[in-house]
Amino acid sequence: MKVAGLEYRGVSSIDGPLVFIDNIRDIAYDELVEITTPTGDVRLGQVLDVTASAAVVQVFGGTVGLSQEKTKARFLGSALKIPVSKDMLGRVFDGLGRPKDGLPEPLTADRRDVNGMPVNPYSREYPRDFIQTGISSIDLMNTLVRGQKLPIFSGNGLPHNRMAAQIARQAKLLSEEVEFSIVFAAMGVKYDVARFFIDSFERSGVLHNVAMFLSLADDPSAERLVTPRSALTLAEYLAFDLGMHVLVIITDMSNYCEALREIATARGEIPSRKGYPGYLYSDLASMYERAGRLRGGAGSITQMPILTMPSDDISHPIPDLTGYITEGQIVLERDMHQRGIYPPVAGLPSLSRLMKDGIGKGRTRDDHPRVASQLFAAYSKVKDIRSLASVIGEEELSPVDKLYLKFGAEFENKVVSQGEFEDRPIQRTLEIGWEVLKILPRSELLRVSEEELAKYYDEAVTIKSKK
């Protein structure tokens, strides 16, 4: 056994968020370190690389004010752990799980390693419970299911926060009365953004059911690397130990990745794309994969990370690697936003991979999968026709193509567009879907079956004529 708390005085060099300490012994990889600054502040750090006599430590609290001589380091003998307890709901913490709301530490002896352990794929339960978010563009076209990880790909200035808050407010299951508990992690966002979420949760009366982990824009960058992990550690406890249903909202992953790049560069690692470290994929996966359900367990973790795409570029490494790990993506489109459409969910690049098993017979409605597929197919044609119209002029289009243009406009105005506080049931959403499909001639609708056409298309026409 090592003597916990053996303190070393002095460090050999300091570089960005990293501190190099020599002449140490018996230190473990990933171990937690308490750094005391010359003025007596205590900051936490973590061992990133260790040899028999030296260690590289990443300091979460930043290295400002540290000096070679007067800095003290104490190795705590274990990896970073945070307390976990049900009482943490309704509270605000910093990225390392320390109270930020002026209240005492949560009363619990249960402390968990923030890195968690990989879930055995054999022990997972395949997620397939439809979550009704009340937002048509999600429910109908990119369905969210319980236990899914579905990010929002956004850009600066787009209403991703309002949308996330709306989802947090409205998300519910059709089959059972269960409330979602919310774990919220903010990395490098501005105070007003955090405030917006707090207010929004307060207004809808769920604040007592929300745990917040905040590492704001003025907090040290290294702390951002731990913040989502702390949040997910609590979420795992709530979901897998207590059987609760947890919705985790993480914003903004782009800031997290910037912090990761900063540390990697300071360590002198070989960069891969755009200067991000080669392990960005594995690193992101170690968080995103902490979602889902366990076989035989009651609880679930549904993850909704938000990331702002640098200059709206979806092929940038951050959205790109995220899209490879998560089960789909909700992409927000600037053009639609400028035209005043809320939520500006891009029709084509958005996708939910788990949708196919969460919808249809016995879950939403029989025709749902085919209606969604038909809308996608038709809307993709709209895009083609719009670009054609911009060249030859709308007048020159064939009659069918003109109908497609009308369909496109109606689709955006009726299906996609809705109020920020409008909670649309899935049945209503499907009705609207058919309503806009009926703009198109029957012969264009190949993705839906004959029976469905008879049942909904022909019927939809009569409903319309009654009005």
Partner 1 sequence: MNEGIITRVNGPIVEARNMERAGMLEVVEVGTEHLIGEVIRVRRGGLATIQVYENTSGLKPGETVYCTGRQLSVKLGPGLLGTIYDGIQRPLDRIAELSGAMIRRGEKTEPLDMSKKWHFVPTVNPGDELKPGVVYGEIQETDSIKLKLIVPPSQKPTRVKTIVPEGDYAGEETLLVAENNDTLGFYQYWPVRKPRPVIARKQLTTPLLTGLRVIDAFFPIAKGGAAAIPGGFGTGKTMTQQALAKWSDADIIVYIGCGERGNEMTEVLREFPELVDPRSGRSLMERTILIANTSNMPVAAREVSIYTGITLAEYYRDMGYHVAIMADSTSRWAEALRELSGRLEEMPADEGFPAYLPTRLASFYERAGFVETMSGDSGSVSVIGAVSPPGGDFSEPVTQHTSRFIRCFWALDRALANARHYPAISWHDSYSEYLIEIAGWWGQQDAEWKAHRDLLMEVLQEEVGLQRIAKLIGPDALPDHQRLTLLVADIIKNAFLQQNSFDEIDMYCSPGKQTWMLRLLATFTERSQNLIRKGAMLADINAITALPRLLRMKSEIPNDDKTAMANLEQQISSALDAIESNLR
CB of 278 to partner 1, least distance (A): 5
CB of 404 to partner 1, least distance (A): 13
Q: Which of 125, 335, 422, 451 binds partner 1 (CB under 8 A)?
A: 125
CB of 162 to partner 1, least distance (A): 25
Could you give the CA distance from residue 37 to residue 39 in angstroms, rounded to a whole number?
5
Please say which residue, 212 or 321, places its beta carbon nearer to partner 1: 321
Q: Which of 302, 329, 417, 418 binds partner 1 (CB under 8 A)?
A: 329
Complete DSSP assignment for 270-319: PB-GGG-BTTHHHHHHHHHTS-EEETT-S-EEEEEEEEEPGGG-TTSHHH
For position 68 contacting partner 1 by CB under 8 A, the verdict is no
Going by C-alpha positions, the residue among 436, 429, 466 that lies closest to residue 174 is 429
Stretch that binds partner 1, among 86-94, 346-354, 413-421, 426-434 (CB under 8 A): 346-354
DSSP 8-class letter at 254:
H
What's the one-letter identity of residue 152?
Answer: I
Going by C-alpha positions, the residue among 358, 306, 361, 360 that lies closest to residue 329 is 306
For position 338 contacting partner 1 by CB under 8 A, the verdict is no
Alpha-helical regions (H) of 316-466: 317-325, 334-338, 355-358, 368-392, 399-410, 426-437, 450-452, 458-466
Phi, psi angle pair for 114, to nearest 5°: -65, -20
Question: Which strand (E) or helix (H) includes residue 58?
Answer: strand 55-59
CB of 359 to partner 1, least distance (A): 11
Could you give the CA distance from residue 219 to residue 357 in angstroms, rounded to a whole number?
41
CB of 261 to partner 1, least distance (A): 13
| Interaction residues for partner 1, span 166-185 (CB under 8 A) | none
For position 120 contacting partner 1 by CB under 8 A, the verdict is yes
For position 392 contacting partner 1 by CB under 8 A, the verdict is yes
Helix 253-266 × helix 317-325 angle, to 10°: 110
Q: Which of 178, 207, 341, 397 binds partner 1 (CB under 8 A)?
A: 397
Q: Which of 12, 68, 156, 282 binds partner 1 (CB under 8 A)?
A: 282
Question: Which strand (E) or helix (H) includes residue 263?
Answer: helix 253-266
For position 271 contacting partner 1 by CB under 8 A, the verdict is yes
Please say which residue, 29 or 421, places its beta carbon nearer to partner 1: 29
Please say which residue, 98 or 442, places its beta carbon nearer to partner 1: 442
The set of residues, in sequence order, having a beta carbon less than 8 Å from that of 306 and lying 6+ positions away, is: 151, 152, 154, 160, 161, 164, 249, 250, 251, 252, 253
Q: Which of 86, 356, 402, 414 binds partner 1 (CB under 8 A)?
A: 356
Stretch that binds partner 1, among 89-97, 155-163, 220-228, 349-357 (CB under 8 A): 349-357
Q: Which of 1, 3, 109, 391 binds partner 1 (CB under 8 A)?
A: 391
Please say which residue, 14 or 351, places its beta carbon nearer to partner 1: 351
What distance lies between CA 230 and its chain's CA centroid? 15
CB of 19 to partner 1, least distance (A): 16
Q: Which of 23, 315, 462, 465 binds partner 1 (CB under 8 A)?
A: 315
Please say which residue, 120 or 465, places its beta carbon nearer to partner 1: 120
**DSSP-based three-state secondary structure for 37:** coil
Count of positions (residues) in the chain: 467
Contact in structure between 76 and 196 (CB atoms under 8 Å): no
Q: Which of 37, 58, 85, 115 binds partner 1 (CB under 8 A)?
A: 115
For position 49 contacting partner 1 by CB under 8 A, the verdict is yes
Stretch that binds partner 1, among 64-72, 201-209, 275-283, 407-415 (CB under 8 A): 275-283
For position 217 contacting partner 1 by CB under 8 A, the verdict is no
For position 373 contacting partner 1 by CB under 8 A, the verdict is yes
| Interaction residues for partner 1, span 127-146 (CB under 8 A) | 127
The set of residues, in sequence order, having a beta carbon less than 8 Å from that of 192 and lying 6+ positions away, is: none
Q: Which of 328, 343, 344, 408 binds partner 1 (CB under 8 A)?
A: 328
Please say which residue, 95 or 292, places its beta carbon nearer to partner 1: 292
Could you give the CA distance from residue 462 to residue 467 in angstroms, rounded to a whole number?
9
Could you give the CA distance from residue 379 to residue 373 in angstroms, rounded to a whole number?
10
